[in-house]
Homo-oligomer: A and B are copies of this chain.
């Protein structure tokens, strides 16, 4: 299974071009569009999202992860194997959280360049081919070189900020779990805990641990982002009580 995790946008003709390449180079493999709306130009938020999603995918899955504002400049391209899954993308921190959180992580730098490499679309021209070869079980040893460390690494602990806002207006944070009696606040508001939407009043705000294990702020049948003015990057306070 090849999993696409990018900021290409769902409306734009970028994911389709990548999938056409994957269809050529790995025709027998399923391609899953996981997320094409990673916050733009934000590998930091993306790195925490990617690490949270990875668990839910089967061993051997290959993630093509592209949030790459520095494309065309001399940032490196890398392959990571972490937790039994593969990750292909730029060395700008995007893969660093998932890499740091698994003891079995192995890393390679991509040293190959295709004959035709556009300056702005390495997702299509470079990463797609590498991902396809890994998915086919033909690890491209001729195109990569083992390395000990990524050049850009983010702090692998929880990120107590909003990292994603979905179309309902739910605000995901980079905090992995919290006890139900934790004091959670953001944007000057204290949020109460609830297991799910159906247990609080309509229009009421609450926090819960979402389906990939992250602390999320929500409003039942409403938008937490609009109600509380939340946006990606906003800090969240999580106070664990004794």
**Residues of chain A at the chain B interface (Cβ within 8 Å):** 1, 3, 9-17, 19-20, 23-24, 27, 30, 32-37, 40-41, 49, 53, 56-58, 69-75, 118-121, 124-125, 166-168, 195-199, 208, 210-211, 220-221
Main secondary structure of the interface of A (DSSP, over half): loop
Chain B residues near A199 (CB-CB < 8 A): 72-73
Question: B11 near A195 (CB under 8 angstroms)?
Answer: no
- Can you give 26 A-B contacts (C-beta < 8 A)? A1-B20, A3-B20, A9-B166, A9-B168, A11-B167, A12-B37, A12-B167, A13-B34, A15-B33, A16-B35, A17-B53, A19-B32, A20-B34, A20-B56, A40-B168, A69-B197, A70-B197, A71-B196, A72-B196, A72-B198, A73-B196, A73-B199, A74-B198, A119-B196, A120-B208, A120-B210
State how many copies of this chain the complex holds: 3
Question: B16 near A211 (CB under 8 angstroms)?
Answer: no
Q: How far is the CB of A146 from chain B (nearest CB, A)?
A: 26
Do A69 and B23 form a contact, CB below 8 Å, given A9-B167, A33-B16? no
Question: A16 near B32 (CB under 8 angstroms)?
Answer: yes
The docked-state distance in angstroms from the alpha carbon of A125 to that of B210 is 13
Do A23 and B34 form a contact, CB below 8 Å, given A196-B120, A197-B69? no
Chain B residues near A210 (CB-CB < 8 A): 118, 120-121
Closest B-chain residue to A29, C-beta based?
A: B23
Do A211 and B56 form a contact, CB below 8 Å, given A13-B35, A23-B1, A75-B198? no
The docked-state distance in angstroms from the alpha carbon of A199 to that of B12 is 23
Question: Which of A15, A20, A53, A57: most chain B CB closer than 10 A?
Answer: A20
